[in-house]
Chain A
């Protein structure tokens, strides 16, 4: 016997949004708490600052969302981000190429790293963890080789990417928004996006339904690589220089953001919006702890605990309703 589920849909939109998305509820709670604890938190400058801090993680995390939806993992994104930025800076300065060309080369490098990951995974049958761990080493190493271990200045034109438009809208936030929209569209509307969910949910069922598994994995990891390149460029432009050790460990933040946002590491679940919320939670938390002058050491402890709590709450909430 069926009764309709109208109870939820009759509630105000915001409440049902919060009910369906534990991460968003957590973000709201966090923001309210911080605005009570610190007068500075809600200022426009501070919020834009949070946005800028979230941008690099969020862009990496959007890329990781594709991979995690297919049930894979990409540990190489931080290293690929650094390598792409180094390649950009090096091509524009040492090699003297015009900066737009250098930018394209950097994106191609990111894309290529992703394709190599995918080839190892889809055709070489390596577990994603191993393939991308290897790529992490290779990309980080190449970044050091190309830069000879020291930072390279970014071309001026590219450094403006770290600025603001009209004096208030930071370009990194804009890039984050654009990458987020792209991700949402790819996941919801395109063939490859829908195929990723099927692949992550049940690879054999997807294959027997005519989805070309290998090809879709190429698309998935290539997107992750390209997004990593964009993140690397944004990060380097903010710092005005490309650094071979930049973005170390960012892959873990990215993965955490995706999972906090409601994705499942076993695949088949995940959304662009959730990932954005996950990245914002991490950034708000760091920002808030700074405002409250919590020591950097304790910050790590708190963030670790919050990641565990956020995912735990989400799991419990789902189990309760399922």
Chain B
């Protein structure tokens, strides 16, 4: 196994390097949907090729045909100039194609080490050599730069760490073609830079990388070329230096005038007060308040305790000490129903694990939070539920064939809209959003921001956790910064900048030995 670090870094790739992979006229239909309708796309050795397109444009479907998850209905795939059939994941692996999917494929009940070695664990006398497995896992984890014990169960990791484990798992395959479907959707700047360093290193070694992202600023940083997909067709191929406005126009078909349309209103009475909240190993002495009409952003590095705080406030997890008050009334800890009754809502970060019933349809999922409210004498007003679901789906521009479509078959960004939508219907007075725009395209983000505006305009309050710093800065009235389980600073919207927030986020908290 030749590790990439052993080799010297050759100069940046000269254009005109050999094309490894080409797809021609690729088409794919699902019942009721044409997902791909003629895509052409070429990938050179030593380039990072960005796939850009709105939610549901067909990016994930395209890469799933390269990884053997789907089989195309029409068109062909050429590898080194020769047509290939990629029928299974094993075929893809044999051809040197590794894929990081948008929805994670880790086994939550297994440990990080076991997941990294899944399918090909090191053996000794026919048995799994656990020690070597953990050693290899530790090396991989160090390479992607996360501090996780390989014996940790994947279920205990936050979403960002799961993403890093997925990346490590793909790196272990030493593939010639590395496909990454929105790897940065939940990462903070630090991890993104780390990832980019790895990607550049691979690229310089001649690996061809397909990179999908909705963060436009990343394209110029990491990409070489961009292929734009719209409605299942490839509509343009442009250099990665193309200005963002032009990329947006190609992708959405119209310009977006204002990415962050925050309309601050003067804050009213305090709705949510959190006082001295602590839980051993997660967060320590966290206090803040949220006033009516406010959007408060929470920034911090991965592992800073932001998600843990959000879940504790909402009652999803318990806390050891401190108190949470809504309208001055104290909530019992660890009781989701009491929190909901008081007017709290939580859009969780992990849509697949905590947000959605994947096997149920769009209407069901959108109506889940409001199910109780739509019940009279034990019977649910299903017609009313459907109507409300249809309304909010239209508001969010969910791309689906009908309300009866299984959520599992929606594109990633559209699934995310469903998680937000079900809480919009609930009309929670204090809405906690944990990575709300994860995987959502630039156009739809603006819609969501406008919905946040209308919530606060009607006296609701929003607590927004996000690893997307521009989003935090653009949409918050105040920014809280967390580091190592503590609240290390609070900045006003006017004074907060990327640098001031980051400076706080990396604060070393003395005597706080939490991780």
Q: Are A204 and B346 in contact (CB under 8 A)?
A: no
- The reply to whether A194 and B371 form a contact with Cβ atoms under 8 Å apart is yes
Which of B183-191, B352-360, B436-444, B486-494 lies at the interface? B352-360
A-contacting residues, B390-434, CB 8 Å: 399-402, 406, 409, 422
Contacts A/B (CB < 8 Å), 20 sampled: A1-B33, A1-B232, A2-B32, A2-B33, A3-B32, A3-B33, A4-B401, A5-B402, A191-B372, A197-B360, A197-B364, A201-B358, A205-B354, A205-B356, A205-B357, A207-B316, A207-B336, A209-B422, A210-B372, A268-B359
Residues of B317-366 contacting chain A, CB below 8 A: 336-337, 340, 346, 348, 353-360, 364
Report how far A206 CA is from B356 CA in the complex, Å: 8
Q: Report the separation of the CA atoms of residues A191 and B369 in the bound assembly, to the nearest whole angstrom.
A: 12
Assess the B357–A322 pair: CB atoms within 8 A.
no
| Contact across chains for B399 and A208 when beta carbons are under 8 A apart | no
Question: Does the CB pair A5–B356 fall under 8 Å?
Answer: no
Considering residues B316, B357, B380, which has the most beta carbons from chain A within 10 angstroms of its beta carbon? B357
* Additional A-B contacts beyond A3-B32, A208-B316, A321-B31 (14; CB < 8 A): A1-B232, A3-B33, A5-B401, A5-B402, A189-B379, A190-B375, A190-B378, A191-B371, A191-B372, A195-B371, A198-B364, A198-B368, A205-B355, A210-B336
Interface check B382, CB cutoff 8 A = yes
Given A201-B359, A209-B369, A211-B371, A4:B32 Cβ within 8 A: yes
Q: Are B354 and A191 in contact (CB under 8 A)?
A: no
Residues of chain A contacted by B435 (CB below 8 angstroms): none
Report the minimal beta-carbon distance from B189 to chain A, rounded to whole angstroms. Answer: 28
Assess A191 versus B231: contact at CB under 8 Å? Given A5-B401, A205-B368, A206-B368: no
Confirm or deny: B34 has a beta carbon within 8 angstroms of a beta carbon on chain A: yes
B37 within 8 A of A: yes
Q: Which 4 A-B pairs have the closest CB atoms?
A: A201-B357, A5-B32, A191-B375, A209-B368
- Chain A residue with minimal CB distance to B316? A208
With a cutoff of 8 Å between Cβ atoms, the chain B residues found around residue A188 in the complex are: 382
Residues of B within 8 A of A189 (CB): 379-380, 382
Task: Please indicate which of the listed interface residues A4, A194, A198 has the most CB atoms of chain B within 10 Å of its own CB.
Answer: A194
A211 proximity list for chain B (CB < 8 A): 368, 371
Distance (whole angstroms) from the CB of B9 to the closest CB of chain A:
43
Asked if A245 is an interface residue, CB under 8 A from chain B, the answer is: no
Q: Is A1 in contact with B382, judged by CB distance below 8 angstroms? A: no
In this assembly, does A38 line the interface, its C-beta being within 8 Å of a C-beta of chain B?
Answer: no
Nearest chain B residue, comparing its CB with the CB of A190? B378
List residues of chain A with CB within 8 A of the CB of B368. Answer: 198, 205-206, 209, 211
User: How big is the B interface, by class?
Assistant: 35 or more
CB–CB A5/B231 < 8 A: no
User: Which residues in window 107-125 of B have CB below 8 A to A?
Assistant: none
Tell whether, in the assembled complex, residue B378 and residue A192 are in contact, meaning their CB atoms are under 8 Å apart.
yes
> Could you tell me if A206 and B357 are in contact, using CB atoms closer than 8 angstroms?
yes
Q: B371 contacts which chain A residues (CB < 8 A)? A: 191, 194-195, 198, 209-211
Chain A 175-201, CB-CB to B under 8 Å as 1, else 0, gives 000000000000011111011011001
Query: Does any Cβ of B come within 8 Å of A45's Cβ?
Result: no
Q: Is the CB of B32 within 8 A of A268?
A: no
- Contact present for B31 and A210 (CB under 8 Å): no
CA A191 to CA B373, docked complex, whole Å: 10
CA distance A264 to B357 in the complex (A): 14
Q: How far is the CB of B33 from chain A (nearest CB, A)?
A: 6
Residues of A within 8 A of B336 (CB): 207-208, 210
Does any Cβ of B come within 8 Å of A202's Cβ?
yes
Across the interface, which residues of A come within 8 angstroms of B356, CB to CB?
202, 205
- Closest partner residue, chain A, to B375 (CB atom): A191
Hey, which chain A residues are within 8 Å of B337, CB to CB?
210, 212
A211: min CB distance to chain B, Å: 7
Q: A269 an interface residue at 8 Å Cβ cutoff?
A: yes
Given A2-B401, A189-B379, A190-B380, verify A208-B32 contact (CB < 8 Å).
Answer: no
How many angstroms from the CA of A195 to the CA of B382 in the assembled complex? 13
Q: Contact check, A197 vs B357: say whether CB atoms are below 8 A apart.
A: yes
Q: Which residues of A are found within 8 Å of B32, using beta-carbon distances?
A: 2-5
| Inter-chain contact B358/A5, CB cutoff 8 Å | no
